[in-house]
């Protein structure tokens, strides 16, 4: 295994905030490495997406120096890329998406999640945050203006607050739904091994949603100081974000204990 592969932290990308530009672990993230390969290929090929086998060197046996994305998997797990689907344990274990019971369960899950107070709050937060971001950009031209960060402290607060709120307002919306879907599955699962898997993913997803909410609250406080004319809008968002935080703590009481691979170790 190459030194690059050895340095990767398994699963670090599963419960991160996907803000690679601000992450100090990109050199140790397999997902970032693979996405960088795709981007490089596109730049060298007029925007064309690569063939899967080509970009990840599926035929690594042709060159001992090549490596494959599947090098990170255990060679003894019975899975070989490109093998017949009938022999693939992963594919065989997938649910039958055309099964009537599966479809009924999916609809019941979606309806249950939809009625949760967290969904209503995250929907409210997303819409109001999006409106505030549009108003801020219209007034201050944040996508095009350049500021001297050392001379203009107020503008720095504005930019920093705007960036964080913009990055997370949809992220929170999506991750809360995923965490609630995981809780629905966890509550109904009878197999203990599968229940542990559901709990792990539920709490990991809830934790990164919680972190995103807290980061957004800090960013909104910066905006509160920076934009006097939008204080009412910012205050309303802070109230909603506070409610989200409280409800998340009640809905997922164990999520703060979750240790994200690499990020919390």
CB 248 within 8 A of CB 178: no
Confidence at 218, pLDDT banded by 50, 70, 90: very high
Report how far residue 213's alpha carbon sits from residue 237's, in angstroms, rounded to the nearest whole number.
Answer: 11
Query: What is the pLDDT, as a whole number, of residue 79?
Result: 36
Query: What is the pLDDT, as a whole number, of residue 146?
Result: 63
C-alpha angle with apex 241: 204 to 265, nearest 5 degrees?
A: 30
Report how far residue 102's alpha carbon sits from residue 110's, in angstroms, rounded to the nearest whole number.
Answer: 12
Q: What is the pTM of this model?
A: 0.81
What mean pLDDT do residues 22-27 have?
96
Which tokens go with 13?
């990308």
Query: What is the pLDDT, as a whole number, of residue 152?
Result: 78
CB 3 within 8 A of CB 45: no
Q: pLDDT tens across 54-92, in order?
A: 655 543 443 444 444 444 434 444 434 344 444 444 444
Which tokens go with 48?
């064309």
CB 248 within 8 A of CB 125: no
Q: pLDDT tens across 157-169, in order?
A: 999 999 999 999 9
Report how far residue 119's alpha carbon sits from residue 173's, in angstroms, rounded to the nearest whole number.
Answer: 7
Domain ranges of the chain: 3-92, 100-257
Helix axes 153-188, 117-140, angle to 10 degrees: 160
- Mean pLDDT rounded to a whole number for the chain: 84
By CB atoms closer than 10 A (0-12, 13-18, 19+), residue 234 is buried
């Amino acid at each position: 295994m190459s030194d690059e592969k050895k340095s990767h932290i398994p699963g670090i990308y599963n419960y991160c905030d996907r803000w690679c530009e601000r992450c100090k672990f990109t050199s140790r993230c397999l997902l970032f490495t693979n996405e960088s390969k795709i981007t490089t290929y596109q730049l060298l090929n007029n925007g064309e997406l690569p063939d899967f086998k080509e970009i990840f060197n599926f035929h690594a046996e042709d060159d001992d120096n090549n490596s494959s994305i599947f090098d990170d998997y255990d060679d003894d797990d019975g899975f070989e890329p490109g093998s017949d689907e009938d022999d693939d344990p992963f594919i065989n274990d997938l649910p039958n998406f055309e099964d009537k019971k599966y479809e009924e369960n999916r609809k019941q899950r979606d309806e249950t999640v939809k009625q949760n107070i967290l969904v209503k709050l995250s929907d409210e937060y997303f819409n109001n945050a999006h409106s505030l971001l549009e108003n801020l950009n219209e007034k201050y031209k944040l996508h095009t203006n350049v500021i001297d960060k050392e001379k203009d402290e107020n503008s720095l607060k504005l930019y920093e607050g705007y960036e964080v709120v913009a990055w997370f307002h949809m992220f929170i919306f999506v991750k809360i739904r995923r965490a609630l879907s995981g809780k629905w599955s966890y509550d109904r699962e009878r197999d203990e091994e599968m229940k542990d898997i559901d709990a792990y993913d539920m709490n990991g997803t809830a934790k990164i949603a919680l972190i995103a909410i807290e980061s957004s609250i800090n960013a909104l406080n910066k905006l509160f100081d920076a934009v006097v004319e939008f204080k009412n809008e910012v205050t309303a968002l802070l109230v909603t974000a506070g409610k989200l935080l409280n409800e998340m703590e009640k809905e997922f009481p164990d999520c703060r204990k979750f240790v994200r691979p690499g990020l919390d170790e």
